[in-house]
Amino acid sequence: MQSIIPVKLPQNAYEIHIATDGLKEIGKKAKSLNIGKKVLVISNPEIFDYYGQTVIDSFTQEGFSVNYHLIPAGESYKTLDSISKIYDTALNLRLERNSTMVALGGGVIGDMTGFAASTWLRGINFIQIPTSLLAMVDASVGGKTGVNHPQGKNLIGAFYQPKLVLIDPLVLKTLPEREFRAGMAEVIKYGVIWDKELFNRLESANNLNSMDVLSADLLSYILERSCLAKAEVVRRDEREGGVRAILNYGHTVGHGVESLTNYNTFVHGEAVAIGMAVAGKIAVEAGLWTEDELIRQNDLIKKAGLPLDIPATVDREDLLDSLQLDKKVKAGKVRFILPTEIGKVIIRDDIQTDLLRNCFRAS
């Protein structure tokens, strides 16, 4: 089973291939891209242990000369220093302009590999093999690459498009369940902000909280519709400024919750789930959305094993303050992405603080 999503950007065109057991085919797929012989696979030790050999073998069989570079797992390694080490490897291997860096991993590996590829020799080829659900449906689509600054996430980076994204759903088998659920938060987000049909299909599933409970068909469908949603939003607004902002649904409050719990209580997707529940309530309180649809959204969030409530330990006034600091704030106004019906949102920056307070208190 394979489905192909073409992504057409003004300057670039590439395809997202969703292919069960597709890892074995990466060499063949890469060969058809008309790229140079040298390939550098970038991964972390855990993921490479599971899937590295399959990928290397596949490239080797097609006559590529393959090497790999490993970076320890974790967001704390998403740094300029890790990029500098990739450069050293690129230099030692004498990578050329038509050589290719391949990201085999979650969003951390994907973001770093893309940035390294975009800046080595001012840009060499880049292939994404996302291995986490979040990377498949979110990080690997849209061309944002980069690393963190010690004092802020994703402050350093580039817009850079891959030549190919290969999604093999089977690799999700080894993804920790908590990470799977975190990715599912973004999937639900696409349902609410963009794709009613996806939302309905998610509703029809008995469960969403683990890879094992999903049929192969449903999983492929989820991956496809999510990538389509993100690709379409990004296509309309490659460098941000307009519609792309809707991808931040649930993220305004989500970021506040993440930071006020010192990034040690929730993974990103869990915070986004809470953020969607709160944004949904704001929309209802503001008279923009129906209570009925809010409940449907929240039922999906629960079914994915994700939290809905802001923890009691988070001071509501601190949360209000944190919104003002968010980088999406323009001229002191907090922008909220708010649903008006399943599959549709609007952007509002005129929500009264009292209304927010009420919603936070009740969340």
Ligand X SMILES: NC(=O)c1ccc[n+]([C@@H]2O[C@H](COP(=O)([O-])OP(=O)(O)OC[C@H]3O[C@@H](n4cnc5c(N)ncnc54)[C@H](O)[C@@H]3O)[C@@H](O)[C@H]2O)c1
Binding-site annotation, residues for Zn(2+): 186, 251, 268
Q: Would you say 183 or 339 has its CB closer to ligand X? A: 183
C-alpha closest to that of 157 among 216, 94, 240: 240
**Token pair of 161, please?**
């498009």
Q: Which listed option, ligand X, a copy of itself, none, makes contact with residue 224 (CB within 5 to 8 Å by class)?
A: none
Q: Does the active-site annotation cover 197? A: no
Alpha-carbon span 43 to 201, nearest angstrom: 33
Alpha-carbon span 345 to 289, nearest angstrom: 10
C-alpha closest to that of 176 among 136, 214, 210, 137: 210
Beta bridge partners of 147: 156
Instruction: Please give the residues from 47 up to 76 whose contact with ligand X meets the rule CB under 6 A.
Output: 47, 50, 73, 75
Q: Would you say 53 or 65 has its CB closer to a copy of itself? A: 65
Q: Is 11 in the site for a copy of itself (CB under 8 A)?
A: yes
Beta carbon of residue 238, minimum distance to ligand X (angstroms, whole number): 12
Q: Which listed option, ligand X, a copy of itself, none, makes contact with residue 72 (CB within 5 to 8 Å by class)?
A: none
C-alpha closest to that of 153 among 320, 313, 328: 328
Q: Say if CB 271 and CB 252 are below 8 A apart.
A: no
**Strand ranges in 9-99 using DSSP code E only, listed in sequence order:** 13-19, 38-43, 65-70
**Token pair of 266, please?**
């929730």
Beta carbon of residue 51, minimum distance to ligand X (angstroms, whole number): 7
Interface with ligand X by CB under 6 A: which range of 174-182, 296-304, 335-343, 355-363?
Answer: 174-182
Q: Is 65 in the site for a copy of itself (CB under 8 A)?
A: no
Q: Does the active-site annotation cover 17? A: no
Q: Is 236 in the site for a copy of itself (CB under 8 A)?
A: no
Q: Is 128 in the site for a copy of itself (CB under 8 A)?
A: no
User: CA separation (Å) from 163 to 33, 34, 171, 184, 328?
Assistant: 8, 10, 21, 26, 30
Q: Is 50 in the site for a copy of itself (CB under 8 A)?
A: no
- The residues that are catalytic are 122, 144, 186, 230, 240, 244, 248, 251, 255, 268
- Positions that interact with a copy of itself (CB under 8 A): 10-11, 80, 84, 87-88, 91, 118-123, 144, 146, 149, 151-152, 155-159, 239
